Amino acid sequence: MPEQDAGALTAIVPATEETAIEAYIDEVWMEMGLSTNTLAAYRADLRACAGWLSLRRCGMTLLQAGAADLQAYLAARHTLSPRSLARLQSALRHYYRHQLRHGRIAVDPTGVIETPKLGRRLPGSLSEAEVEALLAAPDAGTSLGLRDRAMLELLYATGLRVSELVTLGRDQVNPRGGVLRVSGKGNKERLVPIGETALDWLERYLAEARPALLGMRLTEALFVTSRGESMTRQNFWYLIKRYAMTAGIDPMRLSPHTLRHAFATHLVNHGADLRVVQLLLGHSDLSTTQIYTHVARERLKRLHERHHPRG
């Protein structure tokens, strides 16, 4: 039989295997509460592997497959991108570990298969000049513009997550001490310095724009809308996109964490200690913060290539 692409065999799945795969999907859905997208990806990957095994290994089922059989299948999928291949291996590992826990197999055949190492994606960021242009985009002569300028300045000065910014309460700000008390992931609290420039804009907002936006209404939310309600992540994300266009920045380059990444990258570029950046960002693990050293190195490499005569 001529060689076929493994991906073309996804439809050739014995009925008994279809039933077994669906039973597994139902079990992990009940046990782990996985998302619909994850379950769909697991189902597709397992069906593709089951079809290949049935055709190439004379009716072999997933439960009968050994490490050599799975390695042969993965080799047949060599045209997949590293990220897709890693996802496929993850689906197979989850499947066989689940079957091992339930006593349906004696040995996990994926235990000896090496997981591909993926390079971590560098977060998107902005140059310092681009950040300055973005911060200057709101019209601070209006109440809404002053609020937006204060939010952007605070986001860049503190490295907060957008969700942390929009849920800030008035009592979490200590203007005299120049710090914010932030409740981050896992309800872990941290104190974050604001910085003089951001503090100036925040105090202007509190003195001028917030009272004008609230009128006679009362709320504990720090940043409010023209209706006197607290801001949402979606509202603020829309504003960032709009101000990016005003500043001449391609909105497609932005993510909700762009200013957070810029905050960390610019600190590292200017020599900040990585553990300090870790504390400011609220990362529980230093390895998460270390990606910003890669960002800084990439920037230095580009500068070298652009300006050095032998770059």
Residues tagged active-site:
161, 185, 257, 260, 283, 292
Distance, in Å, from the CA atom of 162 to the CA atom of 59, rounded to the nearest integer, reads 52
Signed CA dihedral, 95, 99, 100, 101: sign only: positive
Angle between helices 274-281 and 258-269 (to 10 degrees): 160
Angstrom distance (rounded) from CA 206 to CA 211: 7
Look up residue 218 and give its two tokens: 């009362």
